Structure 1
Amino acid sequence: MDYLPRIIDPVLESALRGLPAVAIDGAKAVGKSATAERVAKSILRLDRPEEVTILRADRDRINRLERPVLIDEWQLDPPIWDAVRRSVDADRAPGHFILTGSANPRNTKIHSGAGRIVRMRMRPLSFAERGRAIPTVSLGALLTGEVGAIEGETTIGLDHYVDEILASGFPGIRTSDESTHATQLESYLSFALSREVPALGAMVRRPKALEAWLRAYAAASSSTASFEKVADAVAKDVRPTRVTIGDYREALSQLWLLDEVPAWVPFGSELSRLGRAPKHQLADPALAARLLRASRDTLLHATTTADRAKAYQRIRKGPLLGALFESLVTLSVRVYAQPVGSAVSHLRTHSGDHEVDLIVEAPDARVLAIEVKLASDVDDHAVRHLNWLQNKIGDDLVDRIIITTGRHAYRRPDGVAVVPLALLGA
């Protein structure tokens, strides 16, 4: 399988030129190993028992291999983290180690690695990384305020976005035969819930309860629905307790399968009374679509079975496609924000009067506000929250963007940029 270039590639290469050790975190199958292998000179694969046995007998082996040394699936032998830290303490030269992991070890004491091992997150493929279109608008340039003209045209339309939601951003799944995507996603979820969650120490007495709760969580994608409301959408005969749900959330977060968007906490602005609830997202919208048994036809025509529609509507209003399109946009924006060191959050007032889907905050505290619309056209009503935010924080808001499913990128007379997802890149 040909390697799909990733936006994180130059970020990793730059980090290795200045740092002794880098850890790449992310869900299984996002491409961490393939990315790291491109720059590693030596590889230790800890999913092979013989490698772990040798390494446990000879921890100093990592210092005799040609560098950079890739230690793949390091969480399978947690003490190796501290061995790397001690090696870095002895020699701070850059480019020694790359650690990749698809889970955070539970109930295992490891040093934070602060100052020795820098962690970076890898997510599934953004839309730009999938090669469907050439972006004409740079998120990084938008954050500087020097983006120039907003322009570009694409042939990508709504049906293409639906195909991408279902195809997944996991490289190995999307590049396989299209007829097997659903089966592979089903297998991915089954393995995570039946094997990986229990392996992290979570007590799964009733596997159906875990699956039912995760399905309800998927239905809450792109919403700030309370966890009580999510739990209430689960049938009573399999509804887990609050304590059990806490265990589920912790384990799924450790596997990087939950990827909640935190609420924005502005510093020193005129904003007050903002909500603190996270916005729910899974690592990949394809996982949510599979859990909800969504297909191309059901998404495009807003049809589903009565039972699933009932459970979904208990949590949020609106079509499922709108929520999953926002999930795809959110995934992509998070990937584009990484090279410029920007954090991604969302804004919602306590009263719910104002919401902004995504807030991208640069290291210098300048802010980019993004709304997501499952539409090709944008009217004045669609930009009201963006304009409200500009009135509140003034020059701290470097730009206002609406991401659509349309064909053209342009700037409205009121200054709001309208950009199809296919034309947005890093």
Structure 2
Amino acid sequence: MISRKATEKLLELSTFFKVIAVVGPRQSGKTTLVRAIFPEKPYVTLEDPDQRRFALEDPRGFLSAFPKGAILDEVQRTPEIFSYLQGIVDFNPAPGQFILTGSNNFLLQQSITQSLAGRVGYLQLLPFAINEIYPSGDDIPAENILLLKGGYPPLYEPGIPSSDWFPNYLRTYIERDVRQIKNISDLIVFERFVRLLAGRVGQELNMTSLGNEVGVDSKTIQSWIGVLESSFVIYLLRPHFKNFNKMIVKRPKVYFLDTGLVSFLLGINTSEQLSQHPLRGSLFENLVVSEMIKLRTNRGEEINLYFWRDKTGHEIDLLVDRGLELLPIEIKSGMTINSDYFKNLKFWLQLSGQEKGVVLYAGNQRQTRSNGVQVMNWKEILEKDS
């Protein structure tokens, strides 16, 4: 089993909260992790029709089998048991009684809010981060491997070829998880929507334009975007709310939480295709954004990432909100530093009055410019407490 960075935070939560909810996309390794950390706890998957029927028809009888708690997998499938769980954990003061996992954040949070608010510690577990797959200092061109392969655990253990795994994953996700969240009648149209969305990675989300191309209205697109968000397929990066310039854009940008899935949806299978693809820069940007999201979720932290763009074309790819300051970051897929890397940072630093900025790129040369801008390889930022 590949060691997960989220282990320390999960153990910490289990000493404070009576119930721990580990949420994340299907096949991100949630079950493997919680069973490894809590081997003494009974394990039940509520994907099993018999167990699910038992939990739905007789929740008291079902839970009575676990007086010391248990791991309940895909628990959003049985929302009725949450009220009964409340009675059990309120009676027993011990922390870490029940470990819940779920691949649908909306359904799980809805059930927890109604019955277990204040009793649950949350942890998001996304696919492997680069520092889980490759040790620091490894010479493997990690960006190319991650862009093509992504981070889903089955691609590494047992090592299923991505060309075999992704088509089945997408089919299972659409036929099972999507229907569980939303009664979508035409799954072929929904799959086309997902593929078209992959072609807009790193771009502002224009629901009207996307709806016209898919052939549905913007309200349907909004609903489907919610489905992808709640099942951890995409992440919407919001524009920063501070008004340095009143002419700022207000639409979020779209990123996928796994770059291998994006490449599959775009039909990119080889390094040669990747290097020549018109979306190479956007895919690299997606990789860095998703890795910085994983850095935070593995530590149980809020995601403090935004972007900034005004209506005249000035843009900062990422703003890290540190409370008292904002760290602007530009992301470039090239391996050679050039002056274009600094134009937007220079504009933003003058506008904001701040003195620090970062350029992350695919090369290995490190520089510190006189204007306070640091240039570094993209993996270096993940080794810092950013």
Interval containing the TM-score (normalised by the shorter chain) = 0.7 to 0.9
Residues 141-160 of structure 1: pairs in structure 2 closer than 5 A: 155-157=139-141, 160=142
The residue number in structure 1 matching 2:348 is 389
What TM-score, normalized by structure 1, do the two folds share? 0.79
The residue number in structure 1 matching 2:188 is 208
Q: State, as a whole percentage, how many aligned pairs show the same letter.
A: 20
The residue number in structure 2 matching 1:359 is 319
The DSSP-based 3-state class of the residue aligned with 2:154 is: helix
Change (3 A) 1:348 1:44: same
How far 1:346 sits from its partner (Å)? 2.6
Task: List gaps (5 residues or longer) in structure 1.
Answer: 136-153, 303-318
1:342-367 C-alpha deviation (Å, 9 max, x unpaired): 423332334143211122223x4443
The DSSP-based 3-state class of the residue aligned with 2:121 is: strand
Does the 8 A contact of 2:335 with 2:361 survive in 1? yes
Partners of 2:83 and 2:324 in 1: how far apart? 34
Change (3 A) 1:94 1:366: farther
1:183-221 C-alpha deviation (Å, 9 max, x unpaired): 21011111212332123232223x322121111100001
Change (3 A) 1:86 1:419: farther
The residue number in structure 2 matching 1:306 is none
Higher relative contact order, structure no. (Cα contacts within 8 Å, ≥ 6 residues apart) = 1
RMSD over equivalenced CA pairs, Å: 2.8
The residue number in structure 2 matching 1:120 is 123
Change (3 A) 1:109 1:229: closer
Say which of 223, 228, 249 aligns to 2:208.
228
The DSSP-based 3-state class of the residue aligned with 1:110 is: helix
Partners of 2:107 and 2:303 in 1: how far apart? 26
The DSSP-based 3-state class of the residue aligned with 1:287 is: helix
Residues 328-407 of structure 1: pairs in structure 2 closer than 5 A: 328-338=287-297, 339=299, 341-362=301-322, 364-394=323-353, 399-407=356-364
Pairs aligned (count): 376
Residues 257-268 of structure 1: pairs in structure 2 closer than 5 A: 257-266=233-242
The residue number in structure 2 matching 1:298 is 273
Partners of 2:190 and 2:54 in 1: how far apart? 37
The DSSP-based 3-state class of the residue aligned with 2:118 is: coil
Partners of 2:130 and 2:312 in 1: how far apart? 30
1:322-354 C-alpha deviation (Å, 9 max, x unpaired): 111111111110111332724233323341432
Say which of 7, 24, 33 aligns to 1:26.
24
Say which of 193, 217, 238 aligns to 1:241.
217
Does the 8 A contact of 2:124 with 2:300 survive in 1? no
Say which of 399, 403, 412 aligns to 2:369.
412
Say which of 162, 169, 172 aligns to 2:151.
169
- Supply the AA of the counterpart residue of 1:224: E
1:169-188 C-alpha deviation (Å, 9 max, x unpaired): 1011244446x212210111
- Supply the AA of the counterpart residue of 2:209: K
The residue number in structure 1 matching 2:8 is 10
How far 1:123 sits from its partner (Å)? 1.4
Partners of 1:92 and 1:210 in 2: how far apart? 46
The residue number in structure 1 matching 2:133 is 130
Change (3 A) 1:22 1:366: farther
What TM-score, normalized by structure 2, do the two folds share? 0.87
Partners of 1:27 and 1:365 in 2: how far apart? 33
Change (3 A) 1:18 1:108: closer
